[in-house]
Structure 1
Amino acid sequence: MSINKETKILVTGAAGFIGFHLCQRLCTSGFNVIGIDSVNDYYSTQLKNDRIELLSNYPNFTFKRIDICDKEKLDKEFASHKFEVVINLAAQAGVRYSIEHPYKYIDSNLIGFINILEACRQHPVQHLIYASSSSVYGNSESIPFSTQAPCNEPVSLYAATKKANEMMAHSYAQLYRIPVTGLRFFTVYGPYGRPDMAYFSFTRKIINNETIQVYNNGDLERDFTYVDDIVKAIEKLIDLPFDSKEEKEKPYRLFNIGNNKPVKLMAFINTLEKHIGITANKEYLPMQKGDVFRTYADISALEERIGFKPSTSIDEGLKQFIDWYKSYYNGQQN
């Protein structure tokens, strides 16, 4: 792959949490970045627009309000820009939300994703990177989770759509020789994060002296991964060659991208309390539908290929988030 600073990179979901941080990283590195996003109202559009406003300060960043479900507009962007690299982070997120709003996941995660694949076929790219999720592992008892292990029993529609994305991408890589890298993200957190995530809602409620809901009576573990570690890895993956015999025959690969250090939910809450300076009021509840007991990433393949070693501890990462939160909201949730 001939990737350089003149390379045009499309980032879908640019107004989203990971998309925003990735665009910042790529723009700082000097790439020409075109970001698209539908800016839907799944959570605060103000937060999304604030992210876009910050990105607009980079002269090498361009934003377009486009939904990946809009095939006509998407195809026009591909035709006019001739992207070398596409990083698809656009998706309807959230496990619990998928139980109440299933069609939103079919539209964005399946129809939107096939539009991306078709655009990459019709307007050939050097590399397509797309977001999958640790949710595909369901309640696997094989610890840590390995991409080599079967994961055919998703416990939510969200997870099912992400598994479908992997299969769709695999078929396009094999049929049309599109170089594709899939990334199974493990509970990404950090400043400018998603308000629907537990760490964000816990922070809001603790600061406002509201009760937080602790599911499965606190007996849960998550492989929390700081967003800066994530975007550094994605940047390294952009020009990673498909040079193994298998990859040359079928240019497809799949990596876990996590912290490789699961944290117990109660320890996580205690760390939040420490940095906020307030003890939370807690309501202990049973397991929620669609939730999983533990996530734990085997990242050995990513470490071998790009030297990926997450460097941000949960203590440091949550401190960074709390500092941002208090600054952004001035101690008050919008």
Structure 2
Amino acid sequence: MATLVTGGTGFVGIHVMRQLAEHGETVVSLSTGGSLDDLAGEFLGKAEERVVSIKGDVLKLAEIRESLRRYEIKTVVHGAAVTAIGALEKEVPYQAVMVNVGGSATMLEASRLEGVRRFLYLSSATIYGSGDPAIPLREEFGVNPRGIYAITKRAAEQIVCRYLDLFPMEGAILRISTPYGPMERPTGRRELMSPIFGWCRAAAAGQEVTLSGDLQRDFTYAADTGKGIVLACEAPRLPRRIYNISSGRNISFSEALKILCSLQPKLRVRYEEVSGDQSFFRDSLRGPLDITRAREDFGFVPEYDVERGLRSYLKWLESHAA
């Protein structure tokens, strides 16, 4: 018996796979590329011994069914997606709809037909839309997705919920928010990086950081994001359908940069009008995700505040400097 992670070679997926494998689970990574590159293999370390990498397409039902049978998959963590945000939204809207919605339906149908026990869908905080940053967002709040990515995530959520209502397969939707940390990098399906991605690289290189306005976000260290997902995989039961996975606390961009400057004194910050890269975050200003459900139902408590996360991330970047 094993756990299948779609999008396993992606930023969040690699953290999920490593933690599952470290817990003794056999993990099957399904991605369009198939194999792990050197950096991913190094990141997994000894955990790679428990990871099987396969090439697959989440739109091909027969292919997915065969993989589920071959590896005796009991749990599916479906994270494969096209993150069509920013410039990528205009470039690949059709692909985003097909993969994010159609791929989710394919994975659900294959899982149903092959008797998968648990199906976890990795959704996004973007489905909440914009709002008052002082109000924590609970799962039962209304949603207002804007943009292709958020719309497709919400559509897939509804399909997941209906499948779980109709068929004897347990599962949940996990809404994740603004992960950052080791293994974040541009890919063909994810081009817009977290602000911290750029800041930390600039800090390590002694370059100037430009801050456009003072926004805020519940930045979540990727190890904590992975932890929340793994806890949901391992929980004896999931009594509720939707869970937020986040640090649970907003921090302003200026405060995060102040912490980063204390860790990297050579870092310089310049303020200017909103830039193209940060316009997405300005348009989606919102409160932090309330993580009470995840704490109550499967014991999720984030381990990293922003200072500890930045310190850890900078150390990792230093050890992987080109």
Q: Do Structure 1 and Structure 2 share a fold, with TM-score over 0.5?
A: yes
Amino acid paired to 2:12: I
CA–CA distance in structure 1, aligned partners of residues 315 and 258 of structure 2: 16
Q: SS state of the match for residue 169, structure 1?
A: helix
Are residue 30 (structure 1) and residue 30 (structure 2) matched?
Answer: no
Change in Cα spacing, 1:157 to 1:49, as seen in structure 2 (3 Å) is farther
Which residue number in structure 1 is paired with residue 223 of structure 2? 228
Change in Cα spacing, 1:169 to 1:319, as seen in structure 2 (3 Å) is same
- Counterpart contact for 2:207–2:267, Cα < 8 Å: no
CA–CA distance in structure 2, aligned partners of residues 39 and 200 of structure 1: 24
Farther off after superposition, 184-193 or 285-294:
285-294
CA–CA distance in structure 1, aligned partners of residues 97 and 305 of structure 2: 35
The alpha carbon displacement at 1:136 in A equals 0.6
Which residue number in structure 2 is paired with residue 78 of structure 1? 68
- Counterpart contact for 1:144–1:296, Cα < 8 Å: yes
Unaligned runs of 5+ in 1: 1-6
CA–CA distance in structure 1, aligned partners of residues 163 and 14 of structure 2: 27
Q: SS state of the match for residue 145, structure 2?
A: coil
Which residue number in structure 2 is paired with residue 4 of structure 1? none
Which residue number in structure 2 is paired with residue 314 of structure 1? 306
- Counterpart contact for 1:132–1:183, Cα < 8 Å: yes
TM-score, normalised to structure 2's length?
Answer: 0.87
Change in Cα spacing, 1:65 to 1:276, as seen in structure 2 (3 Å) is farther
Q: Which of residues 92, 102, 108 is equivalent to 1:117?
A: 108
Unaligned runs of 5+ in 2: 187-192
- Counterpart contact for 1:99–1:156, Cα < 8 Å: no
Instruction: Provide the aligned length of Structure 1 versus Structure 2.
Output: 309
The alpha carbon displacement at 1:51 in A equals 0.6
CA–CA distance in structure 2, aligned partners of residues 299 and 128 of structure 1: 20
Q: SS state of the match for residue 277, structure 1?
A: coil
CA–CA distance in structure 2, aligned partners of residues 134 and 25 of structure 1: 23
Q: Which of residues 255, 260, 263 is equivalent to 2:243?
A: 255
Which residue number in structure 2 is paired with residue 3 of structure 1? none
Amino acid paired to 2:258: N
Q: Deviations over 1:185-235 (max 9, x none)?
A: 0111222223522211222334445554434x12x1111112222222222
Q: Which of residues 257, 262, 265 is equivalent to 1:274?
A: 262
Q: SS state of the match for residue 288, structure 1?
A: helix
CA–CA distance in structure 1, aligned partners of residues 280 and 308 of structure 2: 31
Change in Cα spacing, 1:49 to 1:294, as seen in structure 2 (3 Å) is farther
TM-score, normalised to structure 1's length?
Answer: 0.84
Q: Deviations over 1:38-67 (max 9, x none)?
A: 249xxxx99x55214554743221111223
- Counterpart contact for 1:52–1:63, Cα < 8 Å: no
Are residue 264 (structure 1) and residue 261 (structure 2) matched?
Answer: no
Task: Report percent identity of matched pairs.
Answer: 26
Equivalent residues in 2 for 1:126-275, closer than 5 Å: 126-141=117-132, 143-151=135-143, 153-195=144-186, 196-208=193-205, 210-215=207-212, 217-218=213-214, 220-242=215-237, 253-275=241-263
CA–CA distance in structure 2, aligned partners of residues 202 and 312 of structure 1: 18
Amino acid paired to 1:263: I
